[in-house]
Structure 1
């Protein structure tokens, strides 16, 4: 079978890269790929590779002729293979436009990786050798919209999501010629086979009970059943929305955030042991053990005014922070920590910093949705489960 053998002109490529001549580099690559492709075409037409003896051979090689091909990156000179009969015809000059589709997909890939519209426009200009409008780049980006919308609207009835992690982060978006803050709501579920899924996301106004309720109701309308437990921070509006939409669901407060809130009001010096014991309390294997440790902790510190506020915060949020202990012990470390959620946030923020200010909500949903779909598919294809039995 004929194979595509590509021999790169490394000297030309190296010089192009070192001199930051994107146009020359792309031309050199295009020439290499097209020439190699046409060699394969001729082998297939002849039904024999170079120097191969076969009864199926239908023609003989007869050198090359040169021909220019005009691409978006400019004119390139190709070596077109010939056969003795003169009947071989390459498809390159008729079908090279298909390469433009790969170029478009490449631009989309750059957007997903966090390259801003302005930078993409600059790169397009370098590759094409001419000016392009921002609307051209926007049109390319919008090819992602059907995929994002399908992901946002997909059914959730295929599984009973026992555990649901929810969180919100903030981004900047242009709206009515102003830069405003918008919240990105993200829900991550654990399905019947203990794997994670992105069950939904939404870009909307700042966190309120109404916004969270709308987000949860959308998940319900897509088939999400009432989860056993929702894990989140202690935002007041979020807590109310959980009680309202998911009646009977247990709310588990992120222990990491809870511990940090308590430590923030502790003495900065000479409190290392107290912090260590606090973590042990909230990482106990059972609720009974945690309550016993808490009681001893309070007895030890109740007469020290430096810890009055810390003990008050601990007491007020204690029961909500130990709900995970009702679940199988093997799941505890995953249910009490924010590692999974924080990883998502970091990946979104890493790309968000490049964008800076989104031109509109659709642009934000396009980029953030692409990142979340990528995570979702990786989790789906990974044989390892999130919760280890």
Structure 2
């Protein structure tokens, strides 16, 4: 590995730092280091030090030429060593591809975290003293595409996922000179170690049976095995797709959404008691407890005709909201709702909102994919599993009336 031995007069350096502009000082230091690096590169290529005579040398020094090189601290003017044969080539420009990697990654990070391309171009101007176009930022982001595609299409055969959460959110995209609504489909799974992973995502048409079916088919093709439980809201197309693609898998209706739908049907006044009874049904730890809570709620509202719609909803969705009871009690709080996926959606929304309208579906998938990869990495580094309690095997448990 190339090593640099640079002698620095710290008194002069301190004086320079105290009396000069910090940005100019950083530029000067970068020029010194990079020029010294290229000198060592040329020495290694020639296989002879300066003024050294030996039989192993491969070439001779032939002065320098100057060239601009842009780093995060600004545009630098470097002295590029040459050799007589012209065969020597420094790795500095190839390694950094004319743009400092840390600088490029900073741009990506800014965009991923919700900074608009317009703001990013202003940041670049302040750092480098020169302007860049929006296309530069966009082209920089495109460097993420291979990594995002690998993440999106990776095989899922390395683990089984007992529990799968699915949900859709909506974004605005320009398409054929119009602004249209697109669905973003996301699947989150819990692996054998009770840790969660992002299984897949897709930017497609608005939520429908056909879109959900295609999304689930792609997950199956990538190796997703039959989960024990799929947790979601009660979109009719989603339910139908689950029944068709994951035949035999139990479906857990998100109790938060279910309760919200029923509470919206209740009278606005004097319904606090009824709401408390209703909530107890879906906070039960056993099936018997849930049945008793349901009976108390029905007795409490049975004489009031204003609750007829709520009672009909409860009768239709009672069992779908209690599938979590067939799983270990420690898992109940995490399995009865899609709250964990809702938090993920909010994080995407937080970073996406400055974009407002995506120029196309590809750019939407790029940004959302980068955000999801970032979140996945945070999950993997986390010290605690998602599901609290013991890790259990895949033995079947019964859910009886």
Pair in the same fold by TM > 0.5: yes
Q: Does 1:101 align with 2:100?
A: yes
Deviates more, 1:316-325 or 1:131-140: 131-140
SS in 2 for 1:322: helix
Distance 1:281 1:135, change over 3 A: same
Shift of 1:118: 2.5
Shift of 1:382: 2.1
Shift of 1:34: 5.3
Q: Is the 8 A contact 1:173 1:181 kept in 2?
A: yes
Shift of 1:268: 1.9
Q: Does 1:133 align with 2:130?
A: no
Partner of 1:168: 168
Shift of 1:131: 3.9
Partner of 1:116: 116
SS in 2 for 1:349: helix
Partner of 1:239: 239
Structure 1: distance between partners of 2:246 and 2:5: 58
Q: Is the 8 A contact 2:114 2:352 kept in 1?
A: yes
Partner of 1:304: 304
Q: Is the 8 A contact 2:253 2:337 kept in 1?
A: no
Distance 1:27 1:241, change over 3 A: farther
Q: Does 1:344 align with 2:341?
A: no
TM-score (norm 1): 0.79
Distance 1:161 1:10, change over 3 A: farther
Q: Does 1:288 align with 2:288?
A: yes
Shift of 1:271: 1.8
SS in 2 for 1:244: helix
Distance 1:141 1:294, change over 3 A: same
2:27 corresponds, among 27, 30, 41, to 30
Shift of 1:101: 3.0
Q: How many residues align?
A: 346
Q: Is the 8 A contact 2:27 2:76 kept in 1?
A: no
Shift of 1:33: 5.3
Shift of 1:96: 6.9
SS in 2 for 1:194: coil
Shift of 1:190: 0.3
Matched ranges for 1:317-328 at <5 A: 317-328=317-328
Q: Is the 8 A contact 1:229 1:250 kept in 2?
A: yes
Q: Is the 8 A contact 1:189 1:197 kept in 2?
A: yes
Q: Is the 8 A contact 2:209 2:237 kept in 1?
A: yes
Q: Does 1:151 align with 2:151?
A: yes
Partner of 1:50: none
Q: Is the 8 A contact 1:31 1:77 kept in 2?
A: no
Shift of 1:28: 4.4
Partner of 1:262: 262
Q: Is the 8 A contact 1:161 1:225 kept in 2?
A: yes
Shift of 1:36: 7.5
Structure 1: distance between partners of 2:280 and 2:299: 16
Q: Is the 8 A contact 1:182 1:205 kept in 2?
A: yes
SS in 1 for 2:267: coil
Structure 2: distance between partners of 1:10 and 1:333: 58
Q: Compute the RMSD of aligned alpha carbons.
A: 3.3
Structure 2: distance between partners of 1:151 and 1:257: 30
Distance 1:75 1:195, change over 3 A: closer
Distance 1:245 1:94, change over 3 A: closer
Structure 2: distance between partners of 1:261 and 1:210: 25
SS in 1 for 2:259: helix
Q: Is the 8 A contact 1:31 1:76 kept in 2?
A: no
Deviates more, 1:28-37 or 1:235-244: 28-37
Deviates more, 1:372-381 or 1:252-261: 372-381
Partner of 2:355: 355
Q: Is the 8 A contact 1:3 1:40 kept in 2?
A: no
Q: Is the 8 A contact 2:167 2:232 kept in 1?
A: yes
Structure 2: distance between partners of 1:371 and 1:334: 23
Deviations 1:27-53, CA, capped at 9 Å, x for gaps: 4443355567889999xxxxxxxxxxx
Structure 2: distance between partners of 1:224 and 1:27: 55
